[in-house]
Amino acid sequence: MKKITRLSIALLMFAATLQYPKVGLQQRAIAQTPTPQPETPQPPIIQPQIPEPPRLQPPTTQPPTPQTPTPQPKAEDPKNLGYVSPEFAEKFSQQQIDQINANVETLLLTQSCVRCDLRAIKLVNIRLKNAIVTGADLSDANLSGSTFEISDFVNTNMARTDLSGAQLIGARISNTNLRKANLTGTNLDGADLRFCDLRDANLSNANLRNANIDGASIDRASMAGTTMPDGSKKQ
């Protein structure tokens, strides 16, 4: 019995010896199996973008198209001329024109406008009686065909004024500048023209009967057909 027991123990030990290398190999294999490590994220590699060189366009050989200027409409003259003759409007500002128009309204309403600015006004074929415009400026005015009964024009400026065909019977016009004035056919019967400047004036066919022209300057005045104060007529 003891022999059997010993034999059994020997067989078991031998079997254990045969199994030991396998276990060692398994353990060694397990020991050699690499433990998986978590992957560290790597930053993306950014490749620099190299810009492409600009492509040169060949110059165009076509001539530039000429630009036709757009015609601009002419601005209308903003001035309200009123009584001022258009041919003289550019000489005055709008403020001056407004003042001249106001002076004319005063003259027509009151028959008087002493020392007023009445330059270049146009009052054709009007009728005023006993009008007083002493010291006024009536240069370049157009008063043709108008009637001024016994009116006062003393010391006025009437240079280049158109008085053709006007009626100035008995008017007081002494010391007045009438240089280059148009007095063609003007009726100055009994008018006071003392010391007036009538140089280069046109007095053709004017009536100076009974007029006082003492001291008046009439150099180079046109007097063809003029009736003189004594009733004689110039040829």
Count of other CB atoms within 10 angstroms of residue 227: 21
Give mean pLDDT, residues 180-204: 98
Burial of 121 (C-beta count, 10 Å sphere; 0-12/13-18/19+): buried
- pLDDT tens-place string over residues 147-189: 999 999 999 999 999 999 999 999 999 999 999 999 999 999 9
Provide the percentage of residues in the chain whose pLDDT is more than 90: 65
Q: Which of 84, 79, 172, 68 is nearest to 130 (CA)?
A: 172
At 80 the pLDDT is 85
At 23 the pLDDT is 47
- pLDDT tens-place string over residues 48-96: 566 565 565 655 556 666 565 555 544 455 678 999 999 999 999 999 9
Per the document, the length of the chain is 235
pLDDT band (50, 70, 90) for residue 40: low
The alpha helices in the chain, defined as continuous H runs, are 2-32, 94-110
CA dist 197 and 177 (Å) reads 5
For the whole model, what pTM was predicted? 0.67
CA dist 166 and 35 (Å) reads 133
Residue 112 has pLDDT above 60, yes or no: yes
